[in-house]
Structure 1
Amino acid sequence: MSDLGDGTRVVRGGDEPVAPGAPLRPSPVFAAPYHLGEDPYATDFYARPGHPTLRVLERAVGDLDGGECLVFATGMAAISAAVLAVAGAGDRVVVPSDGYYQTRAFGEGELTRFGIEVQQVPTLRIAEVAARGDLDGAAFVLLETPSNPELDVCDIAAVARATQAAGAVLAVDNTTATPLGQRPLDLGADLVLAADTKALTGHSDLLMGHVTASRSERGQQLHTRLKAWRDRTGNGPGAFDAWLAHRSLSTLDLRLARQATTAAAVADLLADHPAATGVRWPGRPGDPSYELASRQMLRMNGVVSATLADEAAVHALVRASDLWLAATSFGGVHSTVDRRAQWGGDAVAEGFVRFSCGIEDTADLVADLTRALDTLV
């Protein structure tokens, strides 16, 4: 389906061949064990290593990413599987120092316990570090671009060339961009992963993650290793969550389009308003990441960041707003505000805010946010 448009692929991805009388989207298959035949491995036999509802979702997401997909119970389950399927005691893993803070916590709290060295590099410096050859000897390199929450963009192709030369596996956390906004496998990455809890499923009602391996020989070896890891650790999702994710995927193209339109308007509003500073959105001309994002990304996302005066200003903004809700996570249909310093994992100011633009009317969201911002000055 790679020759079809985004809207068609997200609606039709993973579909079975048309059969008269069959539903357009099959219901989830609720089963743990299945009836066995003479050859127990010839059909489904137990849901932990895979089940029919999961396979159609993996086909759909794999088609969007351009590789072979494995779905996991959460985004962190996907990240931990990708790392631990590759790295072992004595290996070095490189992670972004300014990416999702739980990834760093996983490295510091768990990987080091298993004798894995964890090196942290800022998103904006990793291409430079790679060019110097400082990735030599690393087993696994993780990028997150655009980074969460500061929205810096890294040159995936440049880092991919360096990791290939160094013999390291390159994985890209594509949560913010989604497969419609960026295709890291096409740029040379070995793995692409995401927390599908966020924009990919987009309705804030399930937890999920995935890892997609490239279709290269090395990518297929990684896929086999990851599949064995998931089967043995039991990190796959159940049938209902897989069905919800596949259902929600159908609207991804439409949701991203509205969210990006709103994000552009919100970024302009914040940049011109005296209550906000340090506005970041990779799609805005003048943003430090704009030039690279314009070349590397296929479309922009719906997340904007900015800094208000302090913690009190963020609380006042939420109280004054009717449409912007205080909530963590991002990429959902509701527009939300998240003061990142409250979680203690990001090196940001107390008033740093991640705005996640939902799918409400852009004009309504801008008008409401304008009124709320005006109360701060």
Structure 2
Amino acid sequence: MTDKHSQKIAADLLHLRGQGLSKGDPVALPLVSSSMFHLPGDPDGAATYGRVDNPTWEAVEHTLAVLEDAPCVAFPSGMAAISAALFATLKAGQTLLIPSDGYYVTRLLSVRFLAQLGVTVIERPTRSYADGGFDGIDVMFVETPSNPGLDLCDIAAIAQAVHQAGGKVIVDNTTMTPFGQRPLDLGADIVVASDTKAPGGHSDLLMGHVATRDNTLRDAVLDWRKMSGAIPSPHAAWLLHRGLETLEVRFGRMCDTAGAIAQVLADHPVINDIRYPGLPDDPSHTLAKRQMTSFGFLIGLTLADKDAAEKFITSCRFLRPATSFGGVHSSAERRARWGDDVPDGFVRLSVGCEPSVELLDDLLQSLSTL
């Protein structure tokens, strides 16, 4: 996606609701929390019940559809979106391929629940995802860049190979958003994302979505939402709608600042290793330049040990020690505490919207104490 295309989408998002307003309508999206709707006679063509219909959801899904250039279904969290995509595409006796180094809850869902229902689960590291081929793989789920290690794999090449083998491709695009990477354009059948992160942007909501250009898959995902009851709250949807209108501005600043910070930290003496796809010597840099339109706002830092990592995080005035990422406030956490296969001193740094000079000075001050 070119910068010009990004700017067009950003402009469209800001005026998407306004284009359909009548005189006297509110410019801001109304929040509708009703569980019931006035429904005399035949219900066809009207809102029916709060588990099935909600005008605030529909406005958010319309906005997400413009962003993804594909129909979208909203969910109450990123994991709810992932669950819907997996349960809508898999059945007993089939085989699922997942990343061994991706978000750990996706692995837990697959191993502890899908496997019990007769799905064979295979794991591979992101960097060598194509090793072994894709024969017999019914659904391939991939997260690139991986969370938290920031490894990449070639979406277009892998999608082509999976399709030739008769499988479906699901890509978790949470770390990049459509402003940084567009997996559907690269051949994915389904994109899932946690809108809790950068799309919401203010650390005050939980939501996710599924995007697909395949109407059959979309219908299956919608049926899963209706029957499972995995529905977003109207208030969260309202907050997400507001966040989406500033996503392009926030995402651009976060990525620009992350790139500048990564360049400075790359040579810092107390940092044992740094991962950022925008660095020329990063193992994923060449692929990132081809596949992504931005290098993202996440940086992986490996410090000496657990104590050094914790001291670095807590000594920074402009870092919130918290899980999750993508907020306007920069945050960081030591990911080994959740069981990720990373060194004890590995820190996932999520760069926010602070002025870059002040944020960098704060990071360097904290590193100087280690």
Q: TM-score range by the shorter chain?
A: over 0.9
Q: Aligned ranges for residues 60-209 of structure 1 at < 5 Å?
A: 60-129=63-132, 134-209=133-208
The answer to whether the 8 Å contact 2:100/2:107 transfers is yes
Listed as ranges, the gaps of 5+ residues in structure 2 are none
Equivalent residue for 2:238, pick from 229, 237, 243 = 243
SS of equivalent to 1:119: strand
The answer to whether the 8 Å contact 1:269/1:370 transfers is no
Tell me whether 1:374 sits opposite 2:368 in the alignment. yes
Q: How far, CA to CA, are the matches of 1:333 and 1:5 in structure 2?
A: 23
- Aligned partner of 1:360 in structure 2 is 354
Listed as ranges, the gaps of 5+ residues in structure 1 are none
The answer to whether the 8 Å contact 1:13/1:60 transfers is yes
- Aligned partner of 2:267 in structure 1 is 272
Q: Percent of counterpart pairs with the same letter?
A: 44
Compare 315-324 and 108-117 and name the one that shifted more.
Answer: 315-324
Question: What letter matches 2:197 in structure 1?
Answer: K
Q: How far, CA to CA, are the matches of 1:252 and 1:374 in structure 2?
A: 33
Relative to 1, partners in 2 of residues 1:152 and 1:10: Cα closer, same or farther, differing over 3 Å? Answer: farther
Tell me whether 1:10 sits opposite 2:10 in the alignment. no
SS of equivalent to 2:239: helix
The answer to whether the 8 Å contact 2:78/2:195 transfers is yes
How many residues are aligned here? 367
Question: What letter matches 1:240 in structure 2?
Answer: H
SS of equivalent to 2:90: coil
TM-score if structure 2 supplies the norm length? Answer: 0.96
Question: What letter matches 2:255 in structure 1?
Answer: A
- Aligned partner of 1:211 in structure 2 is 210
Tell me whether 1:312 sits opposite 2:315 in the alignment. no
Equivalent residue for 1:302, pick from 275, 297, 306 = 297
The answer to whether the 8 Å contact 2:314/2:321 transfers is no
Report the Cα offset of residue 300 of structure 1.
2.4
The answer to whether the 8 Å contact 1:10/1:252 transfers is no
1:185-238 Cα distance to aligned partner (Å, 9 max, x none)? 111110011011111111111111110012xxxx11000111011100011102
Root-mean-square deviation (CA), in Å? 1.5
- Aligned partner of 2:326 in structure 1 is 331
Question: What letter matches 1:338 in structure 2?
Answer: E
Q: How far, CA to CA, are the matches of 1:15 and 1:303 in structure 2?
A: 33
Q: How far, CA to CA, are the matches of 1:13 and 1:360 in structure 2?
A: 28
1:112-137 Cα distance to aligned partner (Å, 9 max, x none)? 111111100111111344xxxx3122
Q: How far, CA to CA, are the matches of 1:191 and 1:108 in structure 2?
A: 21
Relative to 1, partners in 2 of residues 1:202 and 1:366: Cα closer, same or farther, differing over 3 Å? Answer: same
Relative to 1, partners in 2 of residues 1:224 and 1:144: Cα closer, same or farther, differing over 3 Å? Answer: same
TM-score if structure 1 supplies the norm length? Answer: 0.94
- Aligned partner of 2:59 in structure 1 is 56
Q: How far, CA to CA, are the matches of 2:282 and 2:169 in structure 1?
A: 26
Question: What letter matches 2:321 in structure 1?
Answer: A
Q: How far, CA to CA, are the matches of 1:14 and 1:183 in structure 2?
A: 23
1:156-211 Cα distance to aligned partner (Å, 9 max, x none)? 10011011111111010000010111111111110011011111111111111110
